[in-house]
Structure 1
Amino acid sequence: MSNRLRPSPVLLVWLFLGLLVVPTRAQEWQQEVQIITTVRPGEPTYVFLDSLSAVLDRTPDARLRRSAERLEAQSYDELRNALLDEGMDLTSASHAFIRYRFVLNNQGTRLVESIEDIYFISRFDENYTDLPILYVSTQDPIVSDALMKRGIPNIVNLKSITTFRELLAFPLLHKQQETAMVEFGGRPLRDNFLPQRETLLEFLTNHTTLGSGAYDLTTRYEQTMQSALNTTTAASLQ
């Protein structure tokens, strides 16, 4: 089940006016952005990576990649040993690239935010020398479940949790001082995209609230499963 936030009516108008301009289906428009954020002890990204590491340690058949460009996959033990050979481990991650996809239905009544992938890197210097640590796609059910079903105890009700999917929601992460948008619409962010970036940040950070049915938080795997369920249900009704 996806987590939910609420977009303001102004946000929906803005989305229709021109930023979500890439059609996917007759009923939907979409936009994709990527951010870079820090991975420090105590931060949601760090706690998520630590939790995912524990899951992978118990999943010997998982196949992982150090980066999206590396086609060869390896087991968690192989990846961990490769990092050790380079004097690193998962805790060496200092930053994470997170790619989001926003989809708005044609009626302007439901906005879905999906995390597409997360790429953890180690950035040691100001020259942006990035060393790959771990790349994960949320099409992987292991990664999706870690986001959707794991989290940290809720400070109000310790019997419940705040899921990592909520903690890594775009509006919440972008409030962090050292988070920045690096791609917009699948292209590196240039100066001519600054107005779009500022509009996106203003509305997604100031006009969304947790707990409504109008803004859903999900993953690629969850969307695939929901689409399959919808297809099966529609076929059974024919």
Structure 2
Amino acid sequence: MRTTRVLLVDDQELMRQGLRKMLEIEDGIEVAGEAADGEEALLVVAECRPDVALVDARMPRMDGVELISHLSARHPGVAAIVLSTFDEDDYIFGALRGGAVGYLLKDCTPEELVDSVRRAGRGETVLASPVAARLVAELRRTPPAPTPPTGPAAPPDRGRVRGRLSTREAQVAALIAAGASNREIAVRLRITEGTVKNHVSSLLRKYGLRDRTRLALHLKNPPDS
């Protein structure tokens, strides 16, 4: 069984101690490090090399949403889960847009938390039931995309993303922009090369580009919006 390394990020030391005791008794889970806020987490993440970061939403100096955005850009292989007492839209949607793979509430059971850590380590998305319901409600409020007109096709707006990128697509895109090969991306994100190729194909389709070279150039030097 592969060990899932976890970074605990919470400004309450008592909370971090409780999480550590809870997780350390589980097979296949190792608490690799702790941090009291987002700034400290960014300093220790490279050293402790976590697979999963459990992140509090509200913290001094740098909150969880801002930290997750930095992790997605600098350490896309770290799966970030928000563990918070707050289920406010700003935190939920801010964290998910920033690249979080999950959002849990602190009243979840120990079994739910452990299962979520393991699933996040495998690249899965984990959402508390109230958060999932909030997300579905938001999607229902979002108007559908207009149906394209019939007749001769208009020239594609190349380089303009069509639809939102998933968390994993955004991670793959960031690594492509950094010059990583498919094999390097697979190793970094702990997924297969075939999965990487599928994400690249999806990115090409969403950006309206023909090949990976054009995609890399576009991601590295995006056009002005």
TM bin (shorter chain): under 0.3
Compare the two structures and name the one with the higher strand fraction.
1
Compare the two structures and name the one with the higher helix fraction.
2
Higher relative contact order (CA 8 A, sep 6+): 1
TM-score (norm 1): 0.23
TM-score (norm 2): 0.23
